[in-house]
Amino acid sequence: MQKITKVVIPVAGFGTRFLPATKAMPKEMLTVVDKPVIQYVVEEAVASGIKDVILVTGASKRAVEDHFDYNYQLQTWLKKQGKHEVRKEIKKIADMANFIYIRQKGPYGNGTPVLCAEEVIGDEPFAVLWGDEFFYGRRPRLAQLIKVYEKYTDPVLTAYRVNKKDASKYGMLDAVSVEKNVHQVKKVVEKPGPEKTPSALAALGGYILTPDIFKILRKTKLGKGNELWLTDAIHQLSKKRALYACEVQDTTYYDTGSKFGYLKANIDFGLRNSTTKKEFKKYLKSLKI
């Protein structure tokens, strides 16, 4: 069985929900306290054993590439200033993984960047993470998905338990439990609402996929918005082989692609950060909301 060492992270989107902030800056570079969202995504991948990080980019995404590169001028200046710990932290960003950049070509939609990575992935199973959301906790979400894949060797989705009243916000899983926190997926019901949802398990971004997804993606018709959707291809793949979902544990989901999720992440991490938590907590208490 081939080890999963590659992740595809699409970062070519326009970030329209954060305009005008994302007019000239990639949404993935919006910071949660003092670190861009995309770095949290990559750190989760690296903590899960990923060696090759494939970032599928588009126009105006140069800042993402620069962030994971060495900045020798900055490192030299920090060294001269005696800021050795900061310099080490900056250097560590580029040392985390082998970064590969591909320009997205083809129709818009989240299936296109995955298809663009085919030549780099080859005949290997691989992970897909989104660049505007992340999980944070004691056990990396992706490591949990990889563990399920290593047992069943079929594609694995991220499952996250939510309140059924929120079932109108997510694709919800119709699935059968096969062992603790592992479910075999029958189908994903898109935003069914609390009355019609088949379960309390939301199907969130984050996948382990097998290379046969590429052939299916090439044949998948454009869907909603005349775009190529990865979920449509995964649905077709599930007709040919088993599809599993890992109900992730000991980790918190941050939808930093939405304004509320982004603000929530900044509050949580602001209260964790050693340099801000004391004053920030005092300030929040003073609001008396």
Residues 53, 287: contact at Cβ < 8 Å? no
| Closest of 156, 143, 126 to residue 241, by C-alpha | 156
Residues 208, 145: contact at Cβ < 8 Å? yes
The Cα-based distances of 37 to 40, 196, 268 in angstroms read: 5, 34, 14
What average pLDDT does range 23-28 have in this prediction?
91
Task: Look at residue 154 and tell me whether its pLDDT is greater than 90.
Answer: yes
Average pLDDT in the chain: 92
The single-letter code of the amino acid at 163 is N
Task: Look at residue 46 and tell me whether its pLDDT is greater than 80.
Answer: yes
DSSP 164: G
Spatial neighbors of 183 by CB under 8 A, at least 6 apart, are 159, 173, 175, 176, 177, 201, 244, 245, 247
Under CATH, which architecture does the 6-287 domain have?
Alpha-Beta Complex (3.90)
Task: Look at residue 106 and tell me whether its pLDDT is greater than 80.
Answer: no
CA pair distance 21, 14, nearest whole angstrom? 11
Confidence of residue 31 (pLDDT cuts 50, 70, 90): very high
Phi, psi (deg, nearest 5) at residue 185: -90, 130
The tokens describing 204, both together, are 């969130």
pLDDT of amino acid 142: 97
Stated as kind and residue range, the H or E segment containing 65 is helix 62-67
What ranges in the chain are assigned the alpha helix state H?
A: 37-47, 62-67, 72-80, 84-95, 111-116, 118-121, 141-152, 213-219, 230-237, 259-272, 277-287
* Total H helices, total E strands in the chain: 11, 13
Residues 50, 4: contact at Cβ < 8 Å? yes
CA pair distance 44, 29, nearest whole angstrom? 16
The tokens describing 244, both together, are 């599993």
Residues 212, 93: contact at Cβ < 8 Å? no
Task: Look at residue 40 and tell me whether its pLDDT is greater than 90.
Answer: yes
| Closest of 142, 204, 158 to residue 4, by C-alpha | 142
pLDDT of amino acid 212: 94
